[in-house]
Structure 1
C-alpha cells in the first residue's frame, strides 16, 4: 500500500463492492485513484452488516458470502497498490471538472480531476422498533440489527421481525443453527425473491421456521438486559408471548447522504440521479455508482454497481487525458497493466 498522494486522477468515495471495482476499472485504464471511506476497513455494508450472508446473484459465483466477495475484490486490485484513506469522511468538495479539492474530517486535503461517489446507502443505521426498554437489550446483544457471525446464534431461540429480503434471508440462513426460530410480520405476504419464498414454505412445512402472522412487535420481557420473551400483538390487539433469547428486527436502514447532499448536485430521497450512459451527476466531473445512483430502470444489485463503475471509469478517461483517444481493449487481450 502506497502513501496517500496529495493529488490523484480519481477520488473514489466509498470502498464497498462498487467502489472497489471502480478502483479496478480506473487502474485498468491507467488512471490513478484513491479510495476513501468513513469505515475503518473496506467492504461497506458487505463487511459491516452481513459478512457471513450468502449472496447469490454475483455472476460466476453460485453463492459467495459478503466477506468473501470483498476479499476477492481486494485480491483483484492488489496488483495496483491503490492508496486508501480509511476512517475519513469527505466533508467538503470545491472546484470544477478537472480540478476538484476534497477535504476530510481528519484535516486531509486531496486534489482530483474527477470524483466517483460509491457511497452505497450513505451513512446508514437501522430503523429501530418503538419498544419500551429497547436500549437495555441492545446493550447486551439481546436485540441486534446485523448478523456478523452465524455461530453466535447456535442453539438460541430467535425472533426475526420483518417482511423483506433481509428477514427472509436470515431466517433461512439461521434456521439450522437455532433451537427455535420465529418469523414475525404484520401480514402473511412477504416481499422476497420467488426462490426465497419457496424455501420459506419448505422450512415452515418442515417445522424449522414458525411464521407468526399477522403480528407486530409489542413488548420485550426480561431482566438486566437478558431477553426472556418477545410479546407480539395482532391487528385486533390480541397478544402472544414468544419465548426468545434474541430479537433480530429487520426494518430496513435509515440512510443519510450527509455532506454529499450539500455539494450542489441534484439528489432524490438519499440517492443521486445520474446520466445512465456515463453515471455522471448534475455536477460535471462528479459520478455516482452503486446503490447511491439512480436513473429510470435502475436495479439495486451489486452487479449493476459493477457495470456502472466501468461506465464511469471510461467516461472519466477523457477528463484526465483530454488529448488522448481511448483505444479500448478487452482484459483478455491487454492483461493487467504493470
Structure 2
C-alpha cells in the first residue's frame, strides 16, 4: 500500500473579485489565473504526484473551492465558509482523492457559527481500505499582525481560546484518538497557545502523554544545514529549507516567515491506521513557490498579476508530509479473534 501524501496550504486571500477589498483579485480573469496557479502548485507537490489529502486556508467562495477540486481531480470535499453579512472573510477546505478515501465527514468546527471565520474544522477520514478512521484537523488561527495594542491583545486571546477549544475536543475523544493537526496557527511552537493550559504540544515524541500532541515544527527552528555544509555549498549562502523563527525584519518589525505546522497524536506515531514518516515533513519550494533573498534565506513568493502576468502563488510555503498506511494495526485483533474461534471449532470437531 503506498504512503498517504498529506499537505496544507494557506493560499493567501483566494477571493472572488471585490471592488471594496484590496486583497481581492481585480477581475474574474485574475481570479481564474490565481485558482489555476494554486492548482498548479498543489499538483507539483510530492514530485508531481500531488497530495492525497490537502487542507486549505483563506478560500472565499463555493465556486472557487469546487473549481480547485475539479482541477485537482480531488472530488471528495469538506468546505466550511464564512457566511457573514458582507462575505468579507475566508473559510477552510479539505480535499481528497476518491481512490484513496471511502469518506470524509465534518465532525465539528470552531466557532460553531458559520457567520464567523472558522478557526479550525475536524474531519473524520476513512481510507478506501476500510481501516479504522483518523481525524484531520485543519486550522487557521487569528492573525498576530498588530493593529494597535488592543487589537494585538484581542488576537492573542482569540488564539488561546481556539487552542483551548481544540485541546478540549482532543481530550474528550480519548487517548487512542488518531489525529493529524495542521494549519496556519499564527504562533510559533514556543508561544503561549502551545503549552500547559492551552493546546499542549511537545517537542519530544516520547513520552507523548495524553492528551498532548507532538509538534514536528520544533526541529525546523534552527539552521537547515550545519555551518560547514552551508559553506561547502559555495561562496554564497543558500538556505536548503525555510525556518519558522522570527528571523526576518521588515521596517524594524519582526515578521515570522512560516507559521504552518504539523502536529500528531500518539497513535499517528505508533499503533494507528496511519503512521507519521517525520523525515518527510517539509516546506515545498521551487521557482514559482519561492525565492532566495540576497542574504540566502528562503521566502515565499506572493501572488501578483501585474499587466496580466502571473507571478508567485502565496505568502506561505505549502507544508507536506507522508504517512505510512498501517492497515494491519486496525484488523489484527479481529483476525486473531477469528483465528482463535477457528482453532476452537477445529478442536471441537476432532
TM, length-normalised to structure 1 = 0.27
* TM-score in terms of structure 2 length: 0.26
Choose between structure 1 and 2 for higher RCO, CA contacts under 8 A separated by at least 6 residues: 1
